[in-house]
Structure 1
Amino acid sequence: MSAFPTAAQKFDPARANDYRAQSRIALAGYDACHELAACMLTATLGAGSTARVLVVGAGGGAQEILTAGLLEPNWRFTAVDPSAPMMEIALANLEQKGLLGRTEIHLGYVDDLTSDELFDAATLIGVLHHQPGEESKRQLLRSVASRLRPGAPLILAGNRYAYTSQPLLLAAWGERWRMQGATAEEVQAKLGKILEGADPPASEEVVAELLADAGFEQPTWFFSSLFWGACLAKRGKDHLA
């Protein structure tokens, strides 16, 4: 899942095919995070509400749409992802679950979307830590904010600590892979890959600062799994991102 070309290049056909299984090992509680994200959106928008939801980085399975769409039958979705192999997986899942008719597919970037029609909510799950440097993260959050109604909720989820700043969490992450059958050599290779392959915000405080700069209110954190955290933040009613 990604939103900018440098990140999109990571998700080639080979990685796209492995994504479903690998993501559930790398993130303990993958399904629970998505379920709670849907519950948080419903708690904010109201059960049985009608809403248009922007799903940024929907490729790789469209789990955000599958979960929220089951809970809220009146919601419609716009799925955005620049990776064709990842989007193909999302399309297959949406069609299988009968949600393709409620989803507009956009192979590209948030900046390509018109800003004339504003969304009632958005999700950004597993995307931000793939954006290199704070400026690209800030740009992405501003792009999302500019397409949301004032007061609309954003679900933001991803890794939110610098990996080397949390050696215990990094070691536990390696043990998680060993628990799933990886050898010691495979664990070291995976640890090396994560250290080179992503650039998470340095802390939850930095996440809050990035959100505030883009015009969002203070986030409410609702899920944590080692480096991963998920929060909900509303777009400020008086801020023009």
Structure 2
Amino acid sequence: MTQPATDAAGKFDTSRANEYARQSRIALAGYDACHDLSACMLAASLGQSRPANVLVVGAGGTAQEIIAMAALEPDWHFTAVDPSGPMLDAATEHLLANDLLSRTHVHLGHVEDLPADASFDAATLIGVLHHLGGDEAKQQILRSIQARLKPGAPLIVAGNHYAYASQPLLLQAWSQRWRQQGATADEVQAKLGKILQGADPPHSEAAVQALLHGAGFGDATRFFSSLFWSAWLTCKLSQATRFA
């Protein structure tokens, strides 16, 4: 059964939003490096020091992707979209602290709520896909992003892949990561339970590629990995390329 996006957003309540900045950096070893490299990959794809309007989907929490991109490219502007009010509030606080609200349009809702004729130079979808249940929901958000990108525009996709149970060694290493940060055995189990709640990551890198191809994107280049997590850059295909 497909998990509606509203259900996925409901997991990110005020409690989870308040702890997100710390928890995410434990759950994903290399959290800041992933966001920094995402900014670098987009800049390399678009060309250095060129103005750009970037769609940031799932921006709630730390707004780290915007902070990283803005530091690298002062002429980029952002549209930050997230369906969770508490998570978007947390992101807005980080944007305010980094003097970035003037460069960011903050939108509470979904990509589909944005104007159909919106045209972005690039987009990011970081830490979102594995929270959406079923391929249909994953395809929907990717198609919605694709429809609002210029032809050839780059997209960063990052998140967990593999069915968690299929990789017991990685899952155990994930547990050790929490223990490394001082969590007790009971706390480790609680943290893993919360992370795994309702999660449905693509089951392989090939599955990620298939989702992207089905939504009108080209082959993706992986540029970051950390246990279950990977990050890729792909680009929107033109109509002529897509149906050639």
Using a 3 Å threshold, how does the CA distance of structure 1 residues 63 and 161 change in structure 2: closer, same or farther?
A: same
Question: Counterpart of 2:144?
Answer: 143
Which amino acid letter does the alignment assign opposite residue 59 of structure 2? A
Shifted more, 62-71 versus 89-98: the winner is 89-98
The one-character-per-residue Cα deviations of 1:140-161 (angstroms, maximum 9, x if unpaired) are 1111111101100000000011
Match of 2:9 in 1: 8
Q: Distance in 2 between matches of 1:136 and 1:47?
A: 34
Residue in 2 that maps onto 1:168: 169
1:56-76 residue CA offsets vs partner (Å, 9 max, x unmatched): 011102111111011000001
- Provide the rounded CA distance (Å) in 2 between the counterparts of 1:142 and 1:71: 28
Cα distance in 1 for partners of 2:194, 2:100 equals: 34
For the pair 1:120 / 2:121, whether they are aligned, the reply is yes
In 2: Cα distance, 1:98 partner to 1:223 partner = 28
Shift in Å, 1:197: 3.0
Q: Whole-Å Cα distance in 2 between the matches of residues 154 and 103 of structure 1?
A: 18
Where do residues 66-145 of structure 1 align in structure 2 (5 Å cutoff)? 66-145=67-146
In structure 2, distance between residues paired with 1:177 and 1:15: 17
Aligned to 1:225: 226
CA deviations on 1:178-218 (whole Å, 9 max, x unpaired) are 00111112222333333333110000000000000000000
**2:123·2:154 contact (CA, 8 Å) conserved in 1?**
yes
Name the % identity: 63
1:156 correspondence with 2:163: no
Match of 1:186 in 2: 187
Q: How many residues are paired up?
A: 238
Query: Is 1:19 matched up with 2:20?
Result: yes
Question: Which ranges in structure 1 are unaligned for 5 or more consecutive residues?
Answer: none
TM-score by length of 2: 0.95
Q: 1:111 to 1:185 in 2, by over 3 A?
A: same
Deviations 1:32-65, CA, capped at 9 Å, x for gaps: 0000000000000011011100000111021111
Q: What are the Cα deviations for residues 129-182 of structure 1, in whole angstroms up to 9, with x where unaligned?
A: 000111100111111111101100000000011101111100000000000111
**8 Å CA contact retained: 2:27, 2:178:** yes
Q: Secondary structure at the match of 1:138?
A: helix
Shift in alpha-carbon separation, 1:192–1:117, aligned structure 2, 3 A: closer
Alignment of 1:55-66 (within 5 A): 55-66=56-67
SS of 1:47's partner is: coil
1:90 Cα shift?
A: 1.1
Residues 63, 94 of structure 2: 8 Å contact kept: yes
Distance 1:46 1:170, change over 3 A: same
Runs of 4+ more than 4 Å apart: none
Is there any run of 5+ residues in structure 2 with no aligned partner, and where? none
Find the aligned partners of 2:115 and 2:195 in 1 and give their Cα distance. Answer: 34
If the length of structure 1 is used for normalisation, what is the TM-score? 0.96
CA contact (8 A) 2:8 2:198 kept: no
Partner residue, 1:195: 196
Secondary structure in 2 aligned to 1:122? strand
Structure 1 vs Structure 2 CA RMSD: 1.2
Q: Distance in 2 between matches of 1:150 and 1:197?
A: 34
Using the TM superposition, give the Cα deviation of residue 117 of structure 1 relative to its aligned residue in structure 2, in angstroms: 2.4
Cα separation, 1, equivalents of 2:218 and 2:19:
36
**Is the 8 Å Cα contact of residues 120 and 150 (structure 2) preserved in structure 1?**
yes
Match of 1:209 in 2: 210
